[in-house]
């Protein structure tokens, strides 16, 4: 919104950097304060604007930055990702839960303040039950914390359950559950083959980066009286498996080969997650409508990566 002062936590991360750049293009560089514990590897990826190093576990420092910059809205992107959360459990709880608490507590006394919490499809469990991964537990807990601050302190919090976000420029090899969707295109370009850590027909929900950015901003900009006060909004764009992506790649590289060496931990996690989630609330309340289908996403990935061979 014009005149809005925005803070992005976790701005040095891949999704945080892309969001920061998009916000700065529309709101102006000075209106968007980027923060992270570490400096961005590619500062230019954030666009022009202020950057402040801050540990979200330091509530006093975080509050000073928010007050000094007169922040109206926060996009809370700081989090440990799924694979790292499983191997660094205490750190994951501290960052994903305690860090969120600090941000919420720092914003609750600011009149008219808003906060967007990007949750995850990992907050779902088998048959819609409790999540099976610690990462999913932290995301479900984060949704509940947002609800608590909304109901107790009237802080305008908005939670969004994102699928795996796909983009050709994102780094790969980080052990994330949905990394296969980017890795397969990179490996097709570099080597003409890919060894999948998931069974070939295992499908997961995905969304292309432009649609993910549009969804976060549309939810944040929606009038509060149009939004539901319980839970988080789930969204979906398409589902894909290693096999379905391999089929798309073979349309350009007929010799591409897909091999499988299952990572049992990630396979169990993948099998616990739903496909075809109900996103009717997001479509009805704030007009979510993704532009990128599986076919369009694969075509764009191939043009950007495989087309450079």
Active site amino acids: 135
CA distance 75 to 114: 9
CA distance 24 to 33: 9
Q: What DSSP letter does each residue of 158-175 carry, written as one string?
A: EEEEE-EEE-TTS---S-
CA distance 274 to 200: 17
Q: Which long-range contacts (CB under 8 A, 24 or more apart) does 281-284 make?
A: 281/228, 281/233, 281/234, 282/160, 282/215, 282/219, 282/233, 282/234, 282/235
The region, left, alpha or beta by phi > 0 then psi within -120 to 50, assigned to residue 47 is left
CA distance 217 to 155: 18
Q: Which of 71, 70, 90 is nearest to 80 (CA)?
A: 90
Answer whether 150's CB lies under 8 Å from 222's CB: no
CA distance 185 to 301: 7
Tokens describing residue 286? 């704030």
Strands 238-240 and 204-208 turn out to be: antiparallel
């Amino acid at each position: 919104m014009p005149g809005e002062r925005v803070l992005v936590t976790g701005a040095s991360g891949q999704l945080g950097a892309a969001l920061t750049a998009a916000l700065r293009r529309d709101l102006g560089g000075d209106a968007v304060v980027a923060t992270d514990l570490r400096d961005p590897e590619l500062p230019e990826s954030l666009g022009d604007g202020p950057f402040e190093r801050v540990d979200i576990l330091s509530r006093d420092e975080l509050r000073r930055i928010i007050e000094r910059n007169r922040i109206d809205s926060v996009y809370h992107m700081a989090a440990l990702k799924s694979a790292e959360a499983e191997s660094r459990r205490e750190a994951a709880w501290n960052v994903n839960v305690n860090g969120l608490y600090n941000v919420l507590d720092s914003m609750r006394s600011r009149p008219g303040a808003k906060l967007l919490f990007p949750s995850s499809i990992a907050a779902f469990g088998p048959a819609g039950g409790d999540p099976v991964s610690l990462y999913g537990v932290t995301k479900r807990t984060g949704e509940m914390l947002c609800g608590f601050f909304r109901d107790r302190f009237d802080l305008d919090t908005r939670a969004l359950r994102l699928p795996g976000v796909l983009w050709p420029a994102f780094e790969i090899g980080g052990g994330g559950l949905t990394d296969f969707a980017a890795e397969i295109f990179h490996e097709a370009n570099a080597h003409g083959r890919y060894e999948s850590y998931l069974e070939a027909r295992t499908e997961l929900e995905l969304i292309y980066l432009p649609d993910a950015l549009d969804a976060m901003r549309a939810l944040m900009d929606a009038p509060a009286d149009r939004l539901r006060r319980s839970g988080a909004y789930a969204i979906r764009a398409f589902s894909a498996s290693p096999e379905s992506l391999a089929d798309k790649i073979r349309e350009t590289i007929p010799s591409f080969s897909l091999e499988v060496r299952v990572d049992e931990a990630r396979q169990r996690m993948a099998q616990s997650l739903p496909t075809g989630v109900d996103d009717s609330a997001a479509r009805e309340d704030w007009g979510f409508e993704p532009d990128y289908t599986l076919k369009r996403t694969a075509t764009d990935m191939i043009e950007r990566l495989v087309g450079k061979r």
